[in-house]
Amino acid sequence: MASKPVVIVTRKLPEVIEARMTKLFNTHLRDNDAPMSKEELGKALGEADVLVPTVTDRIDAELLAMAGSQLKLIANFGAGVDNIDLDVAQSREITVTNTPTVLTEDTADMTMAMILAVPRRLVEGERLISMGRWRGWEPTSMLGHRIWGKRLGIIGMGQIGSAVARRAHGFGLSIHYHNRRRLPEAPEKVLQATYWDSLDQMLAHVDIVSVNCPHTPATYHLLSARRLALMRPQAYLVNTSRGEVIDEDALTAMLREGRLAGAALDVFEHEPAINPQLRDLNNVLLLPHMGSATLEARIDMGEKVLINIRTFIDGHRPPDRVIVKLM
């Protein structure tokens, strides 16, 4: 690999990161912030020594077949890597890295904000004001539900799920969780969290469900129509993870039929497309995938990308190398 490898970036990044990247490498930046087309991605894979995609770029087997032999690193600008066919990348001896940990606190903040927003009907209240329909304070108007004393069920007690639990505990929520593996006794005690081996049973017993697990083949539609039906009609669902974890059509039907009290969604199954029926509901908060959207987080992500590239170029193992788990 040349002393200054060709690094192709698929989307606009914070200016400070682009400036450092340009100084360090032979960097090809994106002139606009529109996603690359499949043809553009294929061309980039054929020319780059290092590709820096984002979570919106689907690097599948078909695209990886277009990669030149010089491509040795895909430094993903994002924590999730479900946008990359890791098995094919490994078979082609292409290392993949990501940007974990730096999004934890910001995503947990957003999750907590959404947990607060829907039971207290903040979306409905804002619409009432913006549409000029508010008549003043009334003792029985816009009554929501307190969250103090309610039961929060967290699906996926990793770094983000644990950060959500810490915040939620401060708001008086009782913490319950389902995870692939139970936490060790010490962190479970600190979080004052109750473990449920059965996701089905947890869903039937909590008031609010927060989805914080990654999207993998095993978690696709983890919240299926059957599982969503286990939730109580007065329960709320919050998702800041990945849209594919929830059967969005089933969720929409339940919300429209009043079989679920409300939902707050920052991610969608077919984003950026959103089921138009969801947009018509007053008991739903819809956000444009902004759970980690702080300037600090984006800069921290860029710093991780830079470190991963430099470490790899220097002949060492990148700190955030993604390991393909054998089934």
289 is catalytic: yes
46: part of which helix (H) or strand (E)? helix 38-47
Residues 205, 221, 289, 321: which is the catalytic one? Answer: 289
129: part of which helix (H) or strand (E)? helix 122-130
Q: What is the CA radius of gyration of the chain?
A: 22
Give the position of tokens 């991610």: 267
Angstrom distance (rounded) from CA 265 to CA 246: 10
Residues 40, 124, 271, 303: which is the catalytic one? Answer: 271
Angstrom distance (rounded) from CA 49 to CA 71: 4
Q: Do residues 80 and 215 lie in contact, with contact meaning Cβ atoms separated by under 8 Å? A: yes
CA 268 → CA 221, 237, 252, 255, 290, distances in Å? 12, 13, 12, 15, 12
Q: Is 207 helix (H, G, I), strand (E, B) or coil?
A: coil
Give the position of tokens 């619409």: 127
Closest CA to 305 of 34, 79, 106: 79
242 is catalytic: yes
Letter string b/e over residues 226-243, b meaning 16 or more CB atoms within 10 A of that residue's CB: ebbebbeeebbbbbbbbb
62 is catalytic: no
| Residue 245 per-residue DSSP state | G
Mention every residue, 6+ apart, whose C-beta is less than 8 A from residue 166: 108, 191
Mention every residue, 6+ apart, whose C-beta is less than 8 A from residue 124: 142, 282, 283
Residues 242, 244, 269, 298: which is the catalytic one? Answer: 242
Q: How many CB atoms lie within 10 A of CB 289?
A: 17
Angstrom distance (rounded) from CA 300 to CA 16: 11
Residues with catalytic roles? 242, 271, 289
